[in-house]
Amino acid sequence: MRINKEIFTLSKKADVYFLGVGRDSNNNYAKINCKEFYLIEEKRNSIKAIVKQIRKYIQLTRAFEFDSIHIINEQLMVFFYPFLFKQYVVLDVFDSIFMKINKTKNNFKFFKKIVYKPTNVILVTDKNRKKLMPDFVQSKVDILENFPNRYLGSTEKNSKNLTIFYNGSMSNARGTVFLQKLTEKYPDVNVIMAGWMADENTKSFSQSNFVDYKGILTQKEAMIIAARESNYIMCCYEPSNLNNINASPNKIYDAIQTKTPVIINKEVIVSDFVKKKKIGLVLSSFYEYDIDKVYNNLIECKDKFTFNNSDLIEYSWENIESKLLKAHKVE
């Protein structure tokens, strides 16, 4: 969803050429906003995919004189590294490989200096993630928050049972096991799922009688479900690495836009924001919780959360998208 928003914003001021890996389908919602759109249909991170992607990149840079290159996360820096020094490079880091291996700030300094050397601007999702970047790149780092587009539709709930919206990247590490425990014990709990399933247990869970799997949705479609059909948005992250602990999920701000509280675990740093804003239920731990107590809290609190209308503008993509244009010098 972040990439779709970025492409839409950039397409207002520039011709966008997209190059990625995946299967082309009607679900490639960014395609309509691209001048040209290329997908390498190979297994992600396979040798074939990397070689074909580099080959296509070389073809494109020979055919067109690009004003800037937007790269998603550090992993791709490695693949395209030799070709980036003559380009203006904006690196968008929201799923950092270094945080996944718990190497923040100046840890792995030598390797980070190599990786970040060709970059002109590095975008991160919040102040906390900026602080975790190395000292030597702080002057290059700007914050582009993970806010959603404004939601202007109705937020009147029509769900009869307790309904939880589970969307985006879904896996055991994002809350599948918690939802299994909850729905197995309490038959009045329903789950609406939408997005990508990363493990077999989650795929199996999506076939349960109390689950309604919607497939891949646009942000607008997901927001409508959150606003109208859901009592809570699932937003848990297993605290297995610093990337998860320091997650900056768009679901927090989806909650604000749709006036639908989140369920999040205490280990995630942004849970402090949820608690401060009173926009969700914070689990005592990702691993250990009293499922009966959680259920009772979900039932008791589902209609008691309040949302500040002034936050609708502050925490919207429309309010901060100019930062992306500035990063690419296309204001």
Could you tell me the fold of the domain covering 2-147+318-327?
Rossmann fold (3.40.50)
- Give the single-character DSSP code of 14: S
List all residues 6 or more positions away from 240 whose beta carbon is below 8 Å from its beta carbon.
173
CA angle 135, 140, 142 (to 5 degrees): 105
- Closest alpha carbon to 231 in 200, 203, 285, 192: 192
Q: How far apart are CA 212 and CA 80, in angstroms?
A: 40
Q: In whole angstroms, what is the distance from residue 314 CA to residue 309 CA?
A: 9
DSSP type of residue 274:
H
Q: Which pLDDT belongs to residue 143?
A: 97
Q: How deeply is 168 buried, as exposed, middle or buried, from its count of CB atoms within 10 A (0-12, 13-18, 19+)?
A: buried
Return d(Cα 189, Cα 186) in angstroms, integer.
6
Topology match between the domains 2-147+318-327 and 162-314: yes
Show me where the domains of the chain are located. 2-147+318-327, 162-314
Identify the CATH homologous superfamily for domain 162-314.
Glycogen Phosphorylase B; (3.40.50.2000)
pLDDT value at position 76? 86
Conformational region of residue 259, where left means phi above 0, alpha means psi within -120 to 50, and beta covers everything else: left
CB-based contact 169:189 (threshold 8 Å): no
Residues contacting residue 136 through CB under 8 Å, at least 6 positions apart: 106, 109, 112, 113, 116
Report the C-alpha gap between 117 and 282 in whole angstroms. 39
Integer Cα distance of 256 and 236 in angstroms = 17
pLDDT confidence of residue 27:
61
The stretches in the chain having pLDDT less than 50 are none
Closest CA to 7 of 286, 256, 324: 324
Q: How far apart are CA 300 and CA 281, in angstroms?
A: 11
With tokens 């993509």, the residue in question is 317
Residue with tokens 């990363």: 198
Greatest alpha-carbon pair distance for the chain in Å reads 61
CB-CB contact of 305 with 277 (8 Å): no
Instruction: Give the integer Cα–Cα distance in Å for 52 and 58.
Output: 10
Tell me the pTM: 0.89
